[in-house]
């Protein structure tokens, strides 16, 4: 069993990794200050997940699809919910090349099963790694929960209706672990960083109104306060 390091009350949501990758201020506002506001993008994402996250488990031959699966990793102190985890049946739990365990048993089922998270995403495949980092965090949780090693997982994109395989290599693992470390430091500090205005990122941010990045960003703050206290001579 993995060494238990964090109490459940100290777990951090896996979504914090995506949020800190986008903007540390957004991460602190959502996960420490509990500020949340839907915009068109978050509403579309929410609708997609309502369609997908209907719970329950389906079995088709050698494949089991479990929906809305709670994941956690006590050693890293992260938790989240996978849209779906697929389990594919095999007869030998060990990787024939490396001898590493790649499959688990399941209650009331014969043989061995290889887990694979499938995360449903709005839009199409992206050039940045945010979706892949979230998926890698899910893999780290499953590896910890089942004491095995996984080498791939999948993203399913709503716009293109395609499944993208993501290989969980050491580079992606390191990136994900580094974000876990950064998010932990940020959230434990209890501090919310000042905004850094970036037109593309901020205009897509659901917290734009609460954050007011143009008014409060350090570069703009001086001007903002000047305007705020500017007294017009009669
Ligand atoms: S509006 Fe910009 S600076 Fe503010 S939280 Fe969103 S992304 Fe970060």
Q: Which of 196, 214, 216, 220 to mutate to test the pocket of ligand 1 (most atoms within 8 A of CB)?
A: 196
Checking 196-200 for CB contacts under 8 A at 24+ apart, the result is 196/23, 196/25
Cα 201 to ligand 1 centroid, rounded to whole Å: 7
- What is the per-residue pLDDT for 228? 46
d(CA 85, CA 12): 21
- What is the per-residue pLDDT for 43? 57
- What is the per-residue pLDDT for 42? 57
User: Residue 72: phi, psi to the nearest 5?
Assistant: -155, 160
CA angle 203, 209, 210 (to 5 degrees): 125
Q: Which of 195, 214, 218 to mutate to test the pocket of ligand 1 (most atoms within 8 A of CB)?
A: 195
HSE (side-chain half, CA atoms, 13 Å) at 158 = 14
- What is the per-residue pLDDT for 56? 80
- What is the per-residue pLDDT for 232? 46
Cα 174 to ligand 1 centroid, rounded to whole Å: 25
Residues of the chain with confidence (pLDDT) below 70:
1-4, 37-55, 217-234
- What is the per-residue pLDDT for 233? 45
For residue 22, give the ligand 1 atom closest to its CA. 7
Domain ranges of the chain: 39-181
Q: What residues are in contact with ligand 1 under a 6 Å CB criterion?
A: 23, 25-26, 29, 195-196, 201-202, 205, 207-208, 211, 213
d(CA 225, CA 221): 6
- What is the per-residue pLDDT for 62? 94
Outline where DSSP puts E strands in 11-124.
12-13, 57-60, 63-73, 78-90, 112-121
- What is the per-residue pLDDT for 35? 84
CA angle 64, 70, 75 (to 5 degrees): 120
- What is the per-residue pLDDT for 156? 94
Cα 22 to ligand 1 centroid, rounded to whole Å: 9
Sign of CA dihedral 72, 56, 154, 161: negative
- What is the per-residue pLDDT for 125? 79
- What is the per-residue pLDDT for 36? 73
């Amino acid at each position: 069993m993995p060494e238990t390091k964090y109490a459940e009350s100290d777990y951090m949501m896996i979504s914090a990794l995506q949020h800190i990758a986008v903007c540390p201020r957004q991460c602190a506002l959502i996960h420490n200050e509990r500020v949340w506001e839907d915009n068109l993008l978050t509403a579309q994402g929410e609708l997609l997940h309502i369609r997908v996250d209907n719970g329950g488990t389906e079995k088709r031959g050698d494949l089991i699809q479990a929906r809305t699966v709670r994941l956690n990793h006590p050693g890293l102190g992260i938790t989240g919910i996978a849209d779906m985890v697929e389990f594919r049946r095999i007869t030998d739990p060990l990787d024939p090349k490396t001898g590493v365990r790649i499959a688990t048993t399941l209650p009331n089922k014969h043989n061995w099963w290889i887990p694979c998270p499938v995360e449903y995403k709005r839009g199409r495949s992206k050039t940045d790694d945010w979706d892949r980092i979230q998926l890698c965090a899910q893999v780290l949780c499953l590896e910890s929960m089942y004491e095995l090693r996984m080498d791939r997982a999948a993203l399913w994109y709503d716009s293109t209706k395609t499944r993208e395989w993501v290989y969980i290599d050491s580079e992606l693992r390191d990136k994900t672990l580094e974000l876990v470390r950064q998010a932990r430091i940020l959230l434990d500090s209890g501090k919310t960083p000042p905004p850094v205005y970036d037109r593309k990122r901020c205009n897509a941010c659901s917290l734009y109104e609460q954050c007011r990045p143009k008014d409060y960003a350090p570069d703009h703050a001086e001007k903002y306060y000047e305007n705020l206290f500017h007294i017009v001579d009669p």
